[in-house]
Chains A and B, each alone.
Chain A
C-alpha cells in the first residue's frame, strides 16, 4: 500500500507541476492552453530521446525538456499573437493533436506508436525498491521550487501586470504594459514547466508513447485548476492532488458496488469523478482556494 501511495503521490506531483504551469497562464494572464498535453509530450520526448538514443545524462534530459517545452511555447505564442483568447484555446488544442500525430507517425524519430521504452531512471539500479521513494523526493523538490517561483511571481508587480492583462489587455496596454512581451514570457515559462513535468514523468515510468498524451490529461489538469482555484498557485496544487485522489479513490469505491459488469464499473468510476468535480465547482465556484485580492500594505 505504501509504495502505491508513494507512486500516486509522485504522479500527483507531476500533475501538480502541470497544474502550476496551467495556472500561470490561465489564472495569471487568462490564456487558455488546451494543448498542455502537447507540451508535456514535447518535454517527455526530448528528454527520453536524449537519454536513450543520445545516451545523455538524465539531468541533461531534464534540462533539455525545459528548453524544448519553452521553445515549443515560443513557437505557439509567436504564431498566435494575433489570435483572441478563445481562439487560442482551439489552436493550442490543435497543437497537442499535431504533436501526438507527429509522435505517432514520424517513426524514424519517435519510434511511432511503439513508444520509447527503457528510459533510464536516476540511480535506478542502485536504489532498487527505494527508487520510488527517492524519485518522489525529486518530484517534490521540483514541485516546491516551481511552486515558490510561482508564488513569487504571483505576488510581484509582474504578476499584477499579468492579471491586468487577463482582465483587459487593452487597458493594460494603455497603462504601458507591453502585453505581447508579458504573454510570451508567461507562456514560454509555462510551457517549459509542462516540458519538465513530461521529462519527470518519462524517467519515472521508463516508457512513453503517443497515447499517453491524450487530451484527457489536459482535461484532468483543467479540472484540477478549476476546482482548486484559478489564479492561486496553492489552489493549483490542491486541485492537482484533489483530482488525483478522486481518480484513484473512485477505483476502490466502485469495487464495492455489487451486481455490475466490469464495463459498468469503469463507467461508474468515470461518472463518479465527473460528478464529484461538478459538486466541488457548485459548492466552491471559484475553487477550494479562490483567488484573493491581496490587501494593500497599510502605511506605517
Chain B
C-alpha cells in the first residue's frame, strides 16, 4: 500500500530481561485497514512485542509510532484510549466480574465513568450504557457466550475465556487491535466463524495485527505475514511467500510443511 502512512511503525525496538535479549531491534510496520499476521517460533518474542507496544513493559530503546505519534513509554491506559487495544495469549480478566461486565468495561467513551456523573446519574451516561449493553449482547451472542452472560469469569472454560478476550477487544472499537493467538483453544468450527468476523473488521475501520500458530487461519486471513525469530523480524510477505522461505520452514513450520 504505497503512499499510505503506516498506522503502527516500530523501529529498532529493544528489550532485555536480566541480560537476556528478547527483542533485538524489531522493525515493522502495519498499514491501516488490513489484517497483518505475526508468526514465529515459540519464544521468538511475539508476545513481548505486544507487551511493549501496549505499554505493559517499557522498551529499553527504539521507537513506537502509532498514527504518527511517538508512544514509547506511555502508560497502557493512555495507549488504549488512543485506540490501540490488545488481547492476552493466556487469557486474563477480572475473576469476579461477569461476562457482561467484562464486555461493558471495554466500551469506550463512557460518561458514567466520571465520579460526578456516576453519582448524579446523567442522561448521557444512561444512554451510553444502554447503547453499550446492546452491543455487549450482540457480541456475546456471536461468541456463543450469551447463555453465560452473567457468569463470573472464573466460571468459564478455557476456550470461553479466550472468546471473551476477543469479545472485549471488539467492544473497544479500537483503531488497531493486537490479537495474541485469539483462537488457540477455540473449537475449529467456531474458529472459522471468528475468522469470518475478523475479516469484516477492516471495513469497520479496525486494523488487526494478530499472532497465530494455526496456519490455515493465517492463510485465510492475513496479508502480509510477518515472521519473527529470536527477537527480530526474519522476513515478511504474503503467506505463500513466507511459507516457502526455507528459514521459516526450518525454524517454524517443521518437517511436514516442507
Q: Are any A and B Cβ atoms less than 8 Å apart in their complex?
A: yes
- Chain A interface (Cβ < 8 Å from any Cβ of B): 149, 152-153, 156-161, 163-164, 166-168, 170-179, 185, 189, 291, 293-297, 299
Query: Is there a chain A Cβ closer than 8 Å to B149's Cβ?
Result: yes
Q: Which 7 A-B pairs have the closest CB atoms?
A: A157-B112, A167-B94, A158-B118, A176-B80, A296-B100, A156-B118, A173-B76
Of A160, A168, A176, A178, most B-chain CB atoms within 10 Å: A176
As a 0/1 sequence over residues 120 to 135 of chain B, the CB contacts with chain A under 8 angstroms (1 = contact) are: 1100010001100110
Query: Is there a chain A Cβ closer than 8 Å to B213's Cβ?
Result: no
29 A-B residue pairs with Cβ-Cβ distance under 8 Å, sorted by A, are A152-B118, A152-B120, A153-B118, A156-B119, A157-B110, A158-B113, A160-B97, A160-B105, A161-B105, A164-B94, A164-B105, A167-B95, A168-B92, A168-B94, A172-B94, A172-B105, A173-B55, A173-B80, A174-B77, A174-B86, A175-B77, A175-B168, A176-B77, A177-B105, A177-B113, A293-B98, A293-B150, A294-B101, A297-B133
A296 touches B114 (CB 8 A): no
Which residues on the A side are within 8 Å of B117 (C-beta)?
A: 156, 158
A293 nearest in chain B by CB position: B98
B150 touches A178 (CB 8 A): no
B75 nearest in chain A by CB position: A173
Contact of A174 among B56, B96, B125 (CB under 8 A): B56
Contact of B96 among A152, A158, A167, A175 (CB under 8 A): A167
Distance between B89 CB and nearest chain A CB, rounded to angstroms: 13
Query: Is there a chain A Cβ closer than 8 Å to B115's Cβ?
Result: yes
Q: What's the Cα separation between A293 and B136 when bound, in Å?
A: 16
Distance between B155 CB and nearest chain A CB, rounded to angstroms: 10
B119 touches A153 (CB 8 A): yes
Contact of A296 among B56, B118, B120, B150 (CB under 8 A): B150
Contact of A152 among B55, B119, B172 (CB under 8 A): B119
Q: What's the Cα separation between A297 and B103 when bound, in Å?
A: 13
Query: Is there a chain A Cβ closer than 8 Å to B81's Cβ?
Result: yes
A296 touches B133 (CB 8 A): yes
Q: What's the Cα separation between A176 and B109 when bound, in Å?
A: 10
Q: What's the Cα separation between A167 and B95 when bound, in Å?
A: 7
Given contacts A170-B76, A296-B98, contact A156 B92 (CB under 8 A): no
Distance between A28 CB and nearest chain B CB, rounded to angstroms: 12
Q: How many A-B residue pairs have CB under 8 A?
A: 118
Contact of A153 among B93, B94, B115 (CB under 8 A): B115
Query: Is there a chain A Cβ closer than 8 Å to B49's Cβ?
Result: no
B133 nearest in chain A by CB position: A297
Which residues on the A side are within 8 Å of B81 (C-beta)?
A: 176
Given contacts A164-B105, A291-B96, contact A152 B75 (CB under 8 A): no
Q: What's the Cα separation between A296 and B172 when bound, in Å?
A: 18
Distance between B122 CB and nearest chain A CB, rounded to angstroms: 10
Given contacts A157-B125, A173-B80, contact A293 B101 (CB under 8 A): yes
Distance between A265 CB and nearest chain B CB, rounded to angstroms: 42
Given contacts A174-B85, A299-B134, contact A185 B115 (CB under 8 A): yes
Contact of A158 among B55, B80, B112, B134 (CB under 8 A): B112
Given contacts A156-B112, A158-B118, A160-B101, contact A171 B93 (CB under 8 A): yes
Of A161, A168, A170, A171, most B-chain CB atoms within 10 Å: A171
Q: What's the Cα separation between A210 and B94 when bound, in Å?
A: 41
B115 touches A158 (CB 8 A): yes
Distance between B179 CB and nearest chain A CB, rounded to angstroms: 13
Which residues on the B side are within 8 Å of A152 (C-beta)?
A: 118-121
Which residues on the B side are within 8 Å of A161 (C-beta)?
A: 105, 113
A293 touches B112 (CB 8 A): no
A297 nearest in chain B by CB position: B133
Which residues on the B side are within 8 Å of A177 (C-beta)?
A: 77, 105, 113
Which residues on the A side are within 8 Å of B106 (C-beta)?
A: 175-176
Query: Is there a chain A Cβ closer than 8 Å to B108's Cβ?
Result: yes
Given contacts A156-B112, A170-B56, contact A175 B119 (CB under 8 A): no
Contact of A299 among B114, B137, B152 (CB under 8 A): B137
Query: Is there a chain A Cβ closer than 8 Å to B104's Cβ?
Result: yes
Query: Is there a chain A Cβ closer than 8 Å to B183's Cβ?
Result: no
Which residues on the A side are within 8 Å of B94 (C-beta)?
A: 163-164, 166-168, 171-172
Which residues on the A side are within 8 Å of B152 (C-beta)?
A: 293
Contact of B104 among A153, A157, A166, A173 (CB under 8 A): A157
Distance between A133 CB and nearest chain B CB, rounded to angstroms: 30
Of A149, A157, A166, most B-chain CB atoms within 10 Å: A157
Which residues on the A side are within 8 Å of B75 (C-beta)?
A: 173
Q: What's the Cα separation between A161 and B77 when bound, in Å?
A: 12
Query: Is there a chain A Cβ closer than 8 Å to B54's Cβ?
Result: yes
Q: What's the Cα separation between A156 and B101 when bound, in Å?
A: 11
Distance between A66 CB and nearest chain B CB, rounded to angstroms: 15
Which residues on the A side are within 8 Å of B125 (C-beta)?
A: 156-157
